[in-house]
Amino acid sequence: MTVPTSPIDHRRPLDFDIYGTYSRILQDEKISKPLAAMLALTELIEQSNTGTMFELVQALNEGAEELRKRFTNSISINAGCELFIAFVTLFPHESSSFNDLKIELVEQCRHYANEAMSYRERIANLALGFIKDDSVILTHSYSRVVMQALLLAHKQKRISVYVTEARPSGNGLKTYHALTAAGIPCTVVLDSAVTYVMDKVDLVLVGSEAVVESGGLINAVGSNQIAVIAKAANKPFYAMAESYKFHRLFPLSQYDLPTHTSDILSFPRQPARPPSLTDVQPVVSENGTSQDDLPPSKFQPSTSLHLVPGSTFSMTPEQTKLNPEVDYTRPDLISLVFSDVGILTPEGIRKSISLLKVFRTFKYLIRDDKCIQLDFRSCTPIIKASSLY
C-alpha cells in the first residue's frame, strides 16, 4: 500500500523567500522599491521550476502578492511588479526551450535594471534647465532622484534648499543632512510652516511614489498641501518620476488610493466623555478643608495630566497609525513631470502617453543584439526649458 502524496507545486522553489530577497536587494541605497521588487521577481524566475509560461506568470503574480501583503503602502512596489509581469508576458523570444526562455528573461530583466539605474541622471539633466542660478527650492521628504537633481544643480549653479521635516517619517532630516554634507545651504521647515516660507521659494521639486493615469501624483503625505499652496502662490510645482513608477491607477480623491482604509483618520468608536461639573467631587484635605474653600493660588486641579512648563506633546504610535503615509496630488496642481522618457505636462501623461498606451508599447520592442529596449520615446512629447521662458 502506497501512501498518497500531495501534488508538488513546480511553479516556484519551496525555499525561495521573495520578501527576504527583496529586503536584501533594497539594502543598496541606490535601488528604489519598485526596482528591488523587479530584481526579486527576476531571482524568482531564475530559481523557479516552472515548465510553461502560464505557470511562470502565476508564480510571479503570487510572488508580487506576497510582497504587497508585507507593506501598508505597496503602491510603488505594485507599480514595479505590474510593469515587470507585463514585460515577461509580452516578451518576444526565439528560444528553443522554456528553460532557455527563462535564461533569456533573466538576462534581459537584469539588463533593464542596470539601464534603469541611469534614469535619475537623465531626469536630473532634464531638470537642470529649469533651475536658474541663485534659485531657492522647496522639496519634501526624501527622494533619490530629487537629491541627484539638486546635487547636479549645485555643481553648476548657486542654489539654496528648504526641506520639510515630513512627519511622521522625518525623512526630510535625511535630505537635510545629505545636502548639508554636500555644501548646499539648507534649512528644515516645519510641515505646518509651508505657507510661511512659500513667498521665499522660486520653485517646488518633489519625488514620487507613483504617477497615475490621470496625470496626478502619489507621494509622501504632505505633497498635496504643498502643491495647493504653490498653486495659490503662483509658484511652479515640479515632480520627478522614473518611468517604472508609472502606475495603472485612476484615483479621483484621497479615498480612492489603495492605501486608504476605514481606520485612517477615524474617530474612536467609544470616545471618553469628559465628566460634567456635577460629576466632579470636591477634594477634601486632611484638615477637612475643601478645595472650594481654598484661595485660587492654592487650588490643585484633580487630573491625571500634569503639565510641565516648556514641555511638548508628541503623537503616540497608535495615533500615527491612524494617519496616511501618502496622498494624491491632482494633475491641475502639477506644472511638469520630469521623467526619463521626457518632460511631460499632466495633460501629456493623461492624453498623449496615458499609462495604458505606455503598457501597450511593450508590443513594440526593439531587438538590438539581444538587448530589449522599450520604445517609449516614439510617442513622448518633450518640452524644452527655453520654450517656457
- Please give the grid coordinates belonging to residue 296: 485660587
Q: What is the DSSP string of 259-291?
A: T--TTTTPPPSSPPPPPPGGGPPPPB-TTS-BG
Lowest mean pLDDT among 239-248, 250-259, 275-284, 319-328: 275-284
Q: What is the pTM of this model?
A: 0.78
- 301: number of Cβ within 10 Å: 9
SS3 at position 202:
coil
Helix H, strand E, coil C: the string for 40-84 is HHHHHHHHCCCCCHHHHHHHHHHHHHHHHHCCCCCHHHHHHHHHH
Report pLDDT for 282: 53
**Domains of the chain, each with CATH number or no CATH:** 18-118 (1.20.120), 119-257+325-356 (3.40.50.10470)
CA distance readout (Å), 213 to 74, 191, 352:
17, 28, 11
Q: For 8-53, what is each residue's pLDDT tens digit?
A: 344 445 578 999 999 999 999 999 999 999 999 999 999 999 889 9
